[in-house]
Amino acid sequence: MLPYTSFSSRRAFSLLELLLVIFIISLVYFLGFSGFEKEKKRMPVLTPLKLKEAVTQSPLFKGKGTLICIDGCRSCYFREDIASPFEAYPGKTKFSHLKAYSLDANNALTQLEYGRYQDQKICLEVNFYPNGSSTPLILQDDDGVYFLPAFFGKAKKTASLEEAKALWLKNSDVLHHQGDYY
């Protein structure tokens, strides 16, 4: 007949065996799941067609502000108001040889010159206002010409600068005659 102590020790795990199992499970967990992180929400890439949507979805955007791009439009910065400092825009840009145009008082197409920031030429400046509007622009890059309306509608790709100008004038005319009832 076997002694009582040896019989009872065979019915349960020893403390050493339990610690070994816990260590192995912990090791597998940390090796297997250490590389997994919650996927961060990726910022949309700034393109002429998605400029307004990308900026308004940015964590920097709080209802109004100014976006500027420098270094050939590879680096962009955003500030909430004139008293705030510019902060680096967290998303990427996809502009190539970008030129910005506006219409002057005589409805002539004029290429915009913005000045400098951090001793580099500003290639793009867009203001976003609390009412949901933004600076109207015509942008031209290697991929095409784009009209960015101030308030109504989404950015549109056009065939030429003249077609973008016509869209600008049509949009301005709709806004100008907003109160007409006849």
Per-residue pLDDT of the chain (182 residues; tens, 9 = 90+): 555 555 555 677 788 888 999 999 998 888 877 666 555 567 778 899 999 988 888 888 898 999 999 998 889 999 998 899 999 988 888 988 899 999 998 989 999 999 999 999 999 999 999 988 899 999 999 899 999 998 867 899 999 999 999 998 887 765 554 554 44
Nearest partner of 64 among 87, 82, 40, 50, judged by Cα: 82
pTM over 0.85: no
Residues 6+ apart with CB under 8 A from 154: 49, 52
How many angstroms separate the CA atoms of 21 and 48, rounded? 57
Pair (17, 85) in one structural domain: no
Pair (135, 162) in one structural domain: yes
Pair (171, 131) in one structural domain: yes
Pair (86, 12) in one structural domain: no
97 lies in some domain = yes
165 lies in some domain = yes
Cα four-point dihedral sign 147, 148, 152, 154: positive
Pair (158, 121) in one structural domain: yes
Pair (15, 62) in one structural domain: no
- Reading the block at residue 106, the tokens are 């005589």
Which domain range does residue 9 map to? 4-33
